[in-house]
Amino acid sequence: MPENVVSIVRYQGIESIQSSIDLCGGLEGIPAGAKVLVKPNLVGWDDQGPYPPWGVLTTSLVLEGLCAALKDAGAGEIRIGEGSIKCKHIGSGTQEIYDNLGYQKLVDQYGVRLVDFNDDEFEDVEIDTGHTLQVTRHVQECDALITVPVLKTHGGTVVTLGMKNLKGLLHGKSKQYCHHPDNLLDHFISCIADKYTPALTLIDGIYAQEQGPQHMGFAHRWDVLIASTDIYAADLLGAHILGYGTDEVKYLDEWADKNGRSKAVGDLDVKGDVDPEEIRKPLQWDWDWMPDNSGPDIFGKMGIKGLNLPKYEHTLCTGCSYMFNPLMMLLTSTGQTEFEGYEVLSGSIMKPSGTANKTFLFGQCQVKENKDNPDIKEAVPIKGCPPSLDEMEKVLQENGLPVNRKGYRKYRMYLMSRYWKKPDRYPLTDYYMGAIPESAMPPPPKPEK
């Protein structure tokens, strides 16, 4: 298919995946017998409480439908590959997610080969002049690459779609390099998409994530699928129905400039049974912080004073961003509103205020950057990459903060309760092809009095 052709269809069951692919000619360029690498978005897992996967992980039904379509088209070996957050203390890892979601069914039924990029070999590739990243060898070994992201917003890049999903092809250290203070994450996303152009982009919009990309955001049931052999067309349309264009999404803007493409959604050749304008609904991508940047809005509503928690920025990588929310919940679990001049720094470019009595350094990047900073009265490292909940709890308690996990557990129950009260709209079976893991189950109902 020529560029600009993109399909958008209503999801009405697993057969809809085939329809969305056929409308854009998605498999026409993949020869019979081809080795295909499928890259879903399985960012991470977290077993510290019930885990809501809706709008966070690529819906398993979409992968199942894609594998069926590939086999029908005569594809040879199908590899599903991902490099999820690897963190034992929250139960996260690529293989753990494969196991939790029951991907063995795809192995048994379609002969799929499951690949964990974290445990495989990488090759040095010059992505941009002077910048070399380590990319999984599986890209070179396969004849066609398919990216299957979720339709969701992102606290750093506004949206995360087909292009952003390709960052998962990198080694962990290269992912962190993309968050380096001297580097611009959006620029590297654009460069990776230029270097590794997928044969097909299939955006899973069964659920759309607001304030994503993790489970702290809110998933909306949208029931749409977007597909194109033109990754830019797919991402431009996906961003549009989330409420954003190239003015807000920097990597799309840069990619369009480099490749001489129109930034107008109206120039796309849209096929399918869904009018993008009818379903378009701007979803919030960011979290609100107090005007003085001393903490999230909720801290102000709670009347918290004497605690400075500057807002995360682009150097906070995915692993630490996963644990940043539990950190905030621990800080609020003390029940106190008056703190003794404490500040918490994250990422790798934040600097101390010079006035705090204690400066907590969250994660190894902050520890390395500021542990010997003369402007810090007392440096308190919260070690780890990322720090564990145990480490955060221990360090905060040792420094006079009576934190406890009860509040965080309650918060996790609240996150899950958004969905399990609506099982018809948010069925667990959309994700779990095998036994549903205990860490994803809703809490049992309270006994009636």
Of 335, 233, 329, 224, give the one whose Cα is nearest residue 280: 224
Q: Please give the pLDDT value at position 127.
A: 92
3 state DSSP class of 448: coil
pLDDT confidence of residue 378: 96
- Round to whole Å and give the CA distance between 366 and 448: 49
What pLDDT, on the 0 to 100 scale, is given for residue 183? 64
Instruction: Name every residue whose Cβ is closer than 8 Å to that of residue 269 and which is 6 or more positions away in sequence.
Output: 2, 4, 5, 6
**Token pair in block for residue 98:** 């494969």
Three-state SS at 147: strand
- Say which DSSP state 295 is in: S
Please give the Cα distance from 302 to 290 (Å, whole number): 12
The fold of 5-279 is Rossmann fold (3.40.50)
Q: Return the pLDDT at 315.
A: 85
What residues have CB less than 8 Å from 51, skipping those under 6 apart? 45, 215, 416, 437, 439, 440
pTM for this one? 0.94
Res 30: pLDDT: 93
Q: What is the structure's pLDDT at 449?
A: 57
Query: Where would I find the H helices in 171-230?
Result: 172-177, 185-195
> CB–CB of 166/147 below 8 Å?
yes
Angle of the 389-398 helix axis to the 318-332 helix axis, nearest 10: 40
Q: What is the DSSP letter of 344?
A: E
Mean pLDDT, consecutive 10-residue stretches, the chain (449 aa), reads 90 96 95 97 92 97 98 97 91 95 97 96 92 96 97 95 97 88 86 96 98 93 98 98 98 97 98 97 95 93 94 86 89 90 94 95 94 95 91 94 88 91 93 91 70
* pLDDT the model gives residue 316: 87
Nearest CA to 101 among 325, 375, 437, 424?
437
Token pair 């993309």: residue = 178
